[in-house]
């Protein structure tokens, strides 16, 4: 189980000491220390907190160092934290990632590809527009239909995804709804659902389309489980013995 990540004044002192002190930690062997420092860097890199000026003297070196972490660090959680910092607070170009993309491990290729070539922002508040865009995706998996205010996306693996956009009560704000069901033993079974904000609906759906989000069934003493949803990076971190218990639904 991944430990909870926190940081203290020690990590702040490391950042404020400069790039060499940061590099010493991120090039070291202590994954928990790296994750604490990366979490601390979020505080400095996020303009909301007003401390970005403190890293500007070594900003380009830090941006390069985070790319090195993504390419070289053996710990998946550390890689993900570095990817998240670049996704949230930096913009292309990322020359080290561009030049060495073929060495990026498979679970992280999608996120690095998005870093290198960001998708245009899409914020959906109208289900009809979402339906048209999804229907027009090249080589879309399965079949998509629109019924009243819900888009239904029947995947080849047997999972049905239903998507809607709902107005929050007494508010001008909207939230998305993505639900998943399947048929088992002649009955409709609810799997899981989540509520993305309007600007995240499309990326969540494209994660399904590209296979970054997928479903697998697990063998149990009572037969196969209901399909379980996985992120490709989450699945990649499972021990091989655990992976072997699952059959991925294509």
Which stretches of 90-210 are assigned E, i.e. beta strand? 143-147, 150-154, 160-167, 174-184, 187-194
Q: Enter the tokens of residue 151.
A: 């888009």
Residue 3 resides in a domain: no
Residue 2 resides in a domain: no
The last residue of a domain, from among 72, 97, 116: 116
198 with 101, same domain?
A: no
136 with 110, same domain?
A: no
140 with 68, same domain?
A: no
Q: Enter the tokens of residue 40.
A: 């601390």
Residue 194 makes CB contacts below 8 A (sequence gap 6+) with: 178, 204
74 with 135, same domain?
A: no
3-state helix, strand, coil in the chain (%, to 5): 50, 20, 30
List residues bridging with 143 in a β-sheet. 154
The last residue of a domain, from among 91, 116, 141: 116
CA pair distance 235, 218, nearest whole angstrom = 13
Segment 101-125 mean pLDDT = 87
| Residues 226, 184 contacting (CB under 8 angstroms) | yes
Give the domain range for residue 179: 127-249
Segment 67-89 mean pLDDT = 94
> Does pTM surpass 0.85?
no
47 with 138, same domain?
A: no
215 with 105, same domain?
A: no
Q: What is the pLDDT of residue 1?
A: 41
CA pair distance 112, 153, nearest whole angstrom = 27
Segment 203-225 mean pLDDT = 88
DSSP letter for 169, please.
Answer: T
Average pLDDT, the chain: 91
Q: Identify which has the larger pLDDT, 219 or 102.
A: 102
109 with 179, same domain?
A: no
CA pair distance 52, 48, nearest whole angstrom = 9
Residue 122 resides in a domain: no
Give the torsion through C-alpha atoms of 52, 58, 60, 62, to 10 deg.
-80
The last residue of a domain, from among 66, 90, 116: 116
Q: What is the pLDDT of residue 124?
A: 85
């Amino acid at each position: 189980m991944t430990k909870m990540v926190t940081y203290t004044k020690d990590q702040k002192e490391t950042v404020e000491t400069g790039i060499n002190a940061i590099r010493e930690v991120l090039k070291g062997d202590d994954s928990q220390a790296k994750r604490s420092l990366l979490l601390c860097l979020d505080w400095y890199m996020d303009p909301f907190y007003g401390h970005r000026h403190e890293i500007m003297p070594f900003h380009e070196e830090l941006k390069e160092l985070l790319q090195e972490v993504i390419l070289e660090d053996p710990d998946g959680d550390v890689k993900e934290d570095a990817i998240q910092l670049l996704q949230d607070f930096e913009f292309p170009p990322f020359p080290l990632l561009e030049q060495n993309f073929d060495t990026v491990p498979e679970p992280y290729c999608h996120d690095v590809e998005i870093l290198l070539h960001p998708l245009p922002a899409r914020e959906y508040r109208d289900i009809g527009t979402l339906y048209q865009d999804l229907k027009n995706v090249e080589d879309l998996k399965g079949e998509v239909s629109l019924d009243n205010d819900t888009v239904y996306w029947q995947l080849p693996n047997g999972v049905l995804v239903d998507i809607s956009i709902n107005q929050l009560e007494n508010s001008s704000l909207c939230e998305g709804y993505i639900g998943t069901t399947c048929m088992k033993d002649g009955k409709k079974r609810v799997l899981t659902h989540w509520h993305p904000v309007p600007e995240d609906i499309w990326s969540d759906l494209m994660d399904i389309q590209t296979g970054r989000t997928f479903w697998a069934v697990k063998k149990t003493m009572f037969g196969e489980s209901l399909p379980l949803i996985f992120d490709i990076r989450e699945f990649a971190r499972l021990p091989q013995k655990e992976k072997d218990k699952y059959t991925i639904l294509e």
